[in-house]
Amino acid sequence: MSATYGTTVRVTIFGESHGKGIGLVLDGVPAGTPVDEGFIRSEMARRAPGQNLLSTQRKETDAFIIESGVFEGRAEGTPICVLIPNSDQHSKDYSLLKDNMRPGHADYAGRVKYGGFHDYRGGGHFSGRLTAPLVWAGALAKQVLAAEGIVVGAHIARLARVEDRPFAPLGETAEILASLRTQVLPTLDPAAAPRMEAAILAAREGLDSVGGVVEVLALGLPAGLGDPFFDSLESRLSHALFSVPAVKGVEFGDGFGLADLRGSEANDAMHYEDGVVKTLTNHNGGITGGITNGMPVLFRVAVKPTASIARPQHTVNVAERRDTILTIQGRHDPCIVPRAVPVLEAVTAWTLWDVLLRDRKGEGL
Confirm or reject binding of residue 50 to a second copy (CB under 8 A): no
* Shortest distance (Å) from residue 80 CB to a second copy: 7
**CA gyration radius, the chain:** 21
- Pick from 55, 56, 187, 284 the residue near a second copy by CB under 8 A: 284
- Cα–Cα distance for residue pair 140/353, rounded to 1 Å: 10
Please count the residues of this chain forming the interface with a second copy, following the rule CB under 8 A.
164
Confirm or reject binding of residue 124 to a second copy (CB under 8 A): yes
Confirm or reject binding of residue 251 to a second copy (CB under 8 A): yes
- Pick from 23, 49, 122, 171 the residue near a second copy by CB under 8 A: 23
Select 30 or 173, whichever has its Cβ closest to a second copy: 30
- Cα–Cα distance for residue pair 341/235, rounded to 1 Å: 20
Give bridge partners of residue 215 from the DSSP assignment: 155, 300
CA 41, 47, 48 angle in degrees (round to 5)?
80
Query: Which pairs count as long-range contacts for 26-30, CB under 8 Å and 24+ apart, including other chains?
Result: 26/69, 26/79, 26/80, 26/82, 26/137, 26/140, 27/79, 27/80, 28/357, 29/69, 29/75, 29/77, 29/80, 29/140, 30/75, 30/77, 30/357
DSSP assignments along 26-65, one per residue: EE-PPTT-B--HHHHHHHHHHH-S-SSTTS---------E
Site for a second copy in 210-239 (CB under 8 A): 210-213, 222-232, 234-236, 238-239
Site for a second copy in 311-340 (CB under 8 A): 311, 313-316, 318, 321-323
* Shortest distance (Å) from residue 175 CB to a second copy: 25
- Cα–Cα distance for residue pair 325/102, rounded to 1 Å: 10
* Residue range at the interface with a second copy (CB under 8 A); choices 36-44, 88-96, 167-175, 355-363: 355-363
What is the DSSP secondary structure assignment for residue 295, as one 8-state letter? S
* Residue range at the interface with a second copy (CB under 8 A); choices 16-24, 54-62, 172-180, 186-194: 16-24
Confirm or reject binding of residue 274 to a second copy (CB under 8 A): no
Using DSSP bridges, classify how beta strands 297-303 and 247-252 pair: parallel, antiparallel or unpaired: antiparallel
- Pick from 5, 94, 136, 350 the residue near a second copy by CB under 8 A: 5
- Pick from 307, 340, 344, 352 the residue near a second copy by CB under 8 A: 307
From its phi and psi, is residue 181 left (phi > 0), alpha (psi between -120 and 50) or beta?
alpha
Confirm or reject binding of residue 97 to a second copy (CB under 8 A): no
- Pick from 130, 140, 188, 200 the residue near a second copy by CB under 8 A: 130
* Residue range at the interface with a second copy (CB under 8 A); choices 38-46, 166-174, 182-190, 263-271: 263-271
Site for a second copy in 157-196 (CB under 8 A): 158-161
